[in-house]
């Protein structure tokens, strides 16, 4: 995480948009998958990093990178409670948002012939569908 944060001190979205988006996406991944007692806080920071990457990565200009970032963002959302004050209350809303992002990422991957990536996202979609069915 520290390396990505240091990189972001010198790389900005205006002068180096591709590198900026890559660093933000990778920072999000590092935050999301770090083993720490601050899981929710890190997940929120990861979502912020993905949102920063998505300011550069759009479906129109960089579709595969965009799909990768929205899939990463969906991973984070799927593990975040809807109400941070009541984490035991569930995350049906965040699961639904994650599902929509996974579906969009899958569609992009299929459109660009990235079938392995599409399959991976489809598996995540199936897991979310199963979880949503159990909660409704």
**Residue spans of the chain under pLDDT 50:** none
pTM given for the model: 0.91
User: Residue 58: which of 26, 17, 111 has the closest Cα?
Assistant: 17
pLDDT at residue 28, rounded to an integer = 96
Provide the domain count of the chain.
Answer: 1
pLDDT recorded at residue 92 = 92
- The pLDDT score that the predictor gives to residue 93 is 93
Domain coverage including residue 29: 2-135
Q: Given this model, what pLDDT does residue 136 score?
A: 67
């Amino acid at each position: 995480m520290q390396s990505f944060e240091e990189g972001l001190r010198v790389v900005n979205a205006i002068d180096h948009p591709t590198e900026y988006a890559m660093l933000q996406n990778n920072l999000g991944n590092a935050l999301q998958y770090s083993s720490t007692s601050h899981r929710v806080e890190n997940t929120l920071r990861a979502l912020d990093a993905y949102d920063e990457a998505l300011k550069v990565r759009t479906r129109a200009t960089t579709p595969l990178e965009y799909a990768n970032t929205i899939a990463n963002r969906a991973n984070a959302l799927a593990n975040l409670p809807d109400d941070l004050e009541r984490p035991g209350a569930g995350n049906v809303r965040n699961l639904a948002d994650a599902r929509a992002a996974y579906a969009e990422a899958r569609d992009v991957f299929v459109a660009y012939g990235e079938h392995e990536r599409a399959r991976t996202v489809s598996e995540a979609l199936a897991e979310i569908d199963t979880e949503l069915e159990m909660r409704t």
